[in-house]
Chain A
Amino acid sequence: EDQVTQSPEALRLQEGESSSLNCSYTVSGLRGLFWYRQDPGKGPEFLFTLYSAGEEKEKERLKATLTKKESFLHITAPKPEDSATYLCAVLRAGNNRKLIWGLGTSLAVNP
């Protein structure tokens, strides 16, 4: 069965304390893996798409990497404004565009 698992469920960091969020997946034929950020009371905000193992993408303090079994979202020197829930979703090969979503990691960065 296709599945996306994110860990940890919640993470609390001090400002400047780098860390990584994990998204592991089992899917028959990966077409793409997506990272989103969601702030309370808002819709998910698109961050990155990764298509193949070994691919990396960066945006400000965030860097996403992909292997054949999992993806990491590395947060370097986080700031309080990075506090949010980070969602991972995968798109499997096929004709439709249905994403399989993880439950998210809730990140809190203390000043």
Chain B
Amino acid sequence: EAGVAQSPRYKIIEKRQSVAFWCNPISGHATLYWYQQILGQGPKLLIQFQNNGVVDDSQLPKDRFSAERLKGVDSTLKIQPAKLEDSAVYLCASSPPSTSGGSYEQYFGPGTRLTVT
């Protein structure tokens, strides 16, 4: 089974520029997450999709960050304009549909390391 795919793996931009990240979840996974991880910290949830609807975007800086999941499969996260403090690893994860027993584990992609100079 193919894992979560993300691209690009690395990106260096100057502040005030824009950047976009792409994620393809595991086939059949209805729930998709975007996380921001700063070195030495746990992942911070930015946005959670259930199919193509937003479940939670309470920690997404909406003045500069946006995300979409068209057709309930692939997703794109965009930052415009970028700030120095956006330098981090951006992780995409997906989880399988819940069953009667509850299946909530999340499977992560390799991440995109963003450096804003």
Q: Which positions in A face B, CB cutoff 8 Å?
A: 4, 31-32, 34, 36, 41-46, 49, 51, 87, 89, 91, 96-99, 101-104
Q: Does B95 contact A (CB under 8 A)?
A: yes
User: Is there a chain A Cβ closer than 8 Å to B60's Cβ?
Assistant: no
The 7 closest A-B pairs by CB, nearest first: A101-B42, A43-B108, A44-B108, A43-B111, A46-B105, A43-B91, A96-B55
Interface size on B, residues (CB 8 A): 24
Bound CA–CA A104/B40 (angstroms): 8
Most buried by A among B55, B105, B113: B105
Q: Convert B1-21 into 0s and 1s, putting 1 for each residue whose CB lies closer than 8 angstroms to a CB of A.
A: 000100000000000000000
17 contacts across the A-B interface (CB closer than 8 A): A4-B42, A31-B104, A32-B102, A32-B104, A34-B104, A41-B110, A43-B111, A46-B107, A49-B105, A87-B43, A91-B104, A97-B55, A97-B106, A101-B42, A102-B42, A104-B40, A104-B42
Contact yes or no, A34 B42, CB < 8 A: no
Q: Which of A43, A99, A101 contacts B4 (CB 8 A)?
A: A43
A98 to B104, CA, bound (A): 10
Question: Does A101 lie within 8 Å of B104, measured CB to CB?
Answer: no
Interchain CB contact under 8 A, B55 and A101: no
Pair A34/B105 contact, Cβ less than 8 Å = yes
A37 CB to nearest B CB, Å: 11
CA distance A4 to B55 in the complex (A): 22
In the complex the two chains form, is A96's CB within 8 Å of B42's CB?
no
